Amino acid sequence: MFIATTVSAQSSKVDRATKKLAYSYLMAEDPNLTFDEVLELNAFKSVENLILEAGPTYWFRVDFKNELDTLQTLEPWRLRTNYFSKATVYYKNGESIQQKPIGQINKKEANNSLIYLDGILFNPEDLISKRYLYIKVQMYFSNPNPIHFQYISNASNRFYTAYYTKKDLKRLIPSFGYFGACFILFLSFIVIFINIRNVEFLYYPLYVLFSAIYLTGLDIPVLENFLASRAGFWIGLISQVLINLFYVLFAKYYLNTKNKYPLLDLIINIAIGTLVILIISHFAVYFLDLYKLQENILDIQRTLMTFFGLFSMVYLLFKAKDKLALFIVFGSFVYMTGALGFWFSQTKYYMMVGSFLEILIFSLGLAYKIKQEYEGKVALQKEVSLKEISAKRAQINPHFFFNSLGSIQHLILNDNKTAALNYLTKFGKLARNVLESSYETTVTLTEEIELLRSYLELESLRFDNAFSYSIVVDSEIDSDSIDIPLMLIQPFAENAIIHGLIGKKEGEKHLEIRFLKEEKYYVVEVEDNGIGRRHTEPEVKKKKSRGMEITKKRLKMLDTSDKHKNTIEIIDKYDSHSQPSGTKVTIRLYNP
């Protein structure tokens, strides 16, 4: 249980003072020896600075011969010693010898401290032959720290289990910070994977998860409880292999090595197969109690992955085809530096710092990849939109050209050669301008007005100047700096002339086109004083509706906002007697 109470370093040094005990040990070839059989062997020997290896079964005899007077002054006491994977203490209870599990895997009680072991509770009468405690130990991994035994009063032992010094907190804070960051990243990228289904966004959070388990498992209460079982302990050990497995899988799909780096992809596939074989082999030897062999498997994995990492970094430095590879190179270098520091010093904070920096680099790399893919999709959508716009525009232009050719034919048949030549000259100029602009999706407003003016002149000639027109441009508009979809206004002007003005029998026939600026919009108004839509024939209405739909699609595809702010509004005008008096079309182009 974590208690938010601290003591000073000087006070804790005094309060946590322990007294060293002598011990002797026996390394048993048979792990199933009973306590009585061990006593009969009488093969205990004294040694200093003993390093425990993975695999063998050790028996320790802790000697209190020189401490018996002190032990009688009060009780109970605590025996403090190293961290053991699996251990059992043997003590006297009345006339019989009792045993109690005390190792991480087989102990009954959880630690009260996140840093220190609780120690072994005992009373003077628990000593065998009035001077010994016996401890049977088996390690699932080698411990570089020499074995030691000390004792302290149970009252003073609380300074290990119930208080934390600033030095203790400095040990815990990095672990909690690292675990918290990993947990947030894990959840975030799982959510991203669920939404976009790219497997690199699954392998990356799994890599982050096992990094957190491996580096902070014994410091985080929930993880520590999970690891305090034989299966959980195996997960903790094998997590260092799973880190590398998911890292390699992440790199494979992140870099798309199959298509971009065939040689590296082959080596990655070999590495993946090798890691899977090592995981299966480690599982087998671990649960067969071949702990030294399982440790050798982990050492082989570290060596292989070191060479793989070095090769991959050098290869990508020279063969990198995009910036994605650089994220892998720099992230891997930082991680490998921390891992080697951990390997040689057995100080996990080197690897924790390296891993944290690598996770940050890889997260930036994934963000960069998301940005790349988004920009690629936008570019593809834009290309498709441009093709669709060209196709829609092609549905408008032929209609205009056929009408113009029909008008020229009509003038020639009526033997009006002067008008026909004049019309043909203006038509040729307009056709040339349209064709020269055909490869562009948009033109400047100045160019659009010139094309529109040419068109209106043609239509005026065609109908013997039966109508007048005007084009008004707001003084706030710089027509040379504004882009507008090519031939966007012409269909509306054509509708106004053909279906509004020409059908009008009496009165002035006028068409006015206005270009205005209103806040974040450019507004185009096409207004006529013709007969309005009420008197339009059904078939004509159908054609006009089709042209309107084409223009709406053009505006929608050219809309850069997500809210489709480009709009078209048609207003039917009426006079004071409620009779149709023309039509007004308002086109609003969003331009923040």
What share of the chain in percent tops pLDDT 90? 24
Task: Give the DSSP per-residue string, 442-484.
Answer: EEEHHHHHHHHHHHHHHHHHHTTT-SEEEEEE-TT--TTS-EE
Least confidently predicted of 40-49, 127-136, 563-572: 563-572
d(CA 497, CA 466): 10
Q: Is residue 591 classed exposed, middle or buried when 0-12, 13-18 and 19+ CB atoms within 10 A define those classes?
A: middle
Residue 469 banded pLDDT, cuts 50, 70, 90: very high
Strand partners, 96: 93
Strand partners, 571: 584
Secondary structure letter of residue 322 according to DSSP: S
Residue 227 banded pLDDT, cuts 50, 70, 90: confident
Q: Can you give the pLDDT at residue 155?
A: 87
- Dihedral (C-alpha) 511, 529, 478, 426: value to the nearest 10 degrees? -10
At 531, phi and psi to the nearest 5?
A: -85, -5
Query: Is it the case that residue 534 has pLDDT exceeding 80?
Result: no
Compare 377 and 322 and report the one with higher pLDDT.
Answer: 322
Residue 592 banded pLDDT, cuts 50, 70, 90: low
Residues 6+ apart with CB under 8 A from 285: 291, 293, 294, 297
Query: Is it the case that residue 446 has pLDDT exceeding 60?
Result: yes
Dihedral sign (CA 472, 474, 480, 486): negative
Q: Can you give the pLDDT at residue 557?
A: 63
Q: Can you give the pLDDT at residue 546?
A: 57
Average pLDDT over residues 304-308: 89
Residue 386 banded pLDDT, cuts 50, 70, 90: low
- pLDDT tens digits for range 106-127: 777 777 777 788 889 999 999 9
Average pLDDT over residues 557-581: 77
Residues 6+ apart with CB under 8 A from 517: 474, 476, 477, 523
d(CA 272, CA 561): 45
- pLDDT tens digits for range 286-301: 999 888 899 899 999 9
d(CA 436, CA 447): 11
- pLDDT tens digits for range 490-527: 888 888 888 888 888 888 999 999 999 988 888 999 99
Amino acid present at 258: K
Tokens 């401490």 belong to 67
- pLDDT tens digits for range 21-42: 999 999 988 888 999 999 988 8
| Residue 98 Cα distances to 36, 76, 134, 510, 591, angstroms | 12, 17, 11, 113, 86
Q: Which of 203, 221, 227, 215 is nearest to 179 (CA)?
A: 215
Q: Which of 352, 324, 321, 325 is nearest to 337 (CA)?
A: 352
The two most distant CA atoms of the chain are separated, in Å, by: 139
Residue 458 banded pLDDT, cuts 50, 70, 90: confident
Enumerate domains of the chain plus CATH numbers: 6-162 (2.60.40.2380), 166-375 (1.20.1070), 416-590 (3.30.565.10)
d(CA 458, CA 149): 107
Q: Can you give the pLDDT at residue 538?
A: 52
Q: What share of the chain is helix, strand, coil (3-state, %, to 5)?
A: 55, 20, 25
Question: Taking the complete model, does pTM exceed 0.85, yes or no?
Answer: no
Q: Can you give the pLDDT at residue 1?
A: 40
Q: Can you give the pLDDT at residue 118?
A: 85
Query: Is it the case that residue 376 has pLDDT exceeding 50?
Result: yes
Q: Edge to edge, what strands does the sheet with 86-93 contain? A: 45-46, 22-28, 57-63, 132-138, 86-93, 96-101
Compare 8 and 130 and report the one with higher pLDDT.
Answer: 130
State yes or no: cis peptide before 262, omega within 30 of 0: no
Task: Give the DSSP per-residue string, 12-68.
Answer: HHHHT--EE-EEEEEEES-TT--HHHHHHH---EE-SSPPPPSS-EEEEEEE-GGGH
Query: Is it the case that residue 435 has pLDDT exceeding 70?
Result: no
Q: Can you give the pLDDT at residue 24?
A: 93
Secondary structure letter of residue 103 according to DSSP: S
Q: How far is CA 12 from the centre of its chain?
A: 44
Q: Can you give the pLDDT at residue 576?
A: 82
Average pLDDT over residues 359-377: 78
Dihedral sign (CA 249, 250, 251, 252): positive
- Let me know how long the chain is: 592
d(CA 495, CA 482): 25
Average pLDDT score over the chain: 82
Average pLDDT over residues 544-548: 56
d(CA 309, CA 358): 13
d(CA 323, CA 320): 7
Looking from the CA of 459 toward its CB, the CA atoms found within 13 Å total: 25
Q: Can you give the pLDDT at residue 536?
A: 55
Residue 87 and residue 62 in contact, taking contact as beta carbons nearer than 8 Å: no
Residue 150 DSSP SS3: strand
Residue 10 banded pLDDT, cuts 50, 70, 90: very low
Average pLDDT over residues 335-361: 79
- pLDDT tens digits for range 64-108: 999 998 898 888 999 999 888 889 999 999 889 999 998 888 777
Q: Can you give the pLDDT at residue 22?
A: 92
Residue 228 banded pLDDT, cuts 50, 70, 90: confident
Average pLDDT over residues 204-232: 83
- pLDDT tens digits for range 46-73: 888 898 988 889 999 999 999 998 898 8
Amino acid present at 211: S
Dihedral sign (CA 336, 337, 340, 345): negative
Helix (H) or strand (E) holding 89: strand 86-93
Query: Is it the case that residue 3 has pLDDT exceeding 50?
Result: no
- pLDDT tens digits for range 182-211: 898 899 889 988 988 888 889 988 988 998
Q: How many CB atoms lie within 10 A of CB 157?
A: 24
Q: Which of 407, 403, 379, 362 is nearest to 493 (CA)?
A: 403
Compare 331 and 146 and report the one with higher pLDDT.
Answer: 146
Q: Can you give the pLDDT at residue 564?
A: 60
Average pLDDT over residues 8-13: 50
Query: Is it the case that residue 12 has pLDDT exceeding 70?
Result: no
Q: Can you give the pLDDT at residue 472?
A: 93
Task: Give the DSSP per-residue string, 259-312.
Answer: HH-HHHHHHHHHHHHHHHHHHHHHHHHHHTT-HHHHHHHHHHHHHHHHHHHHHH
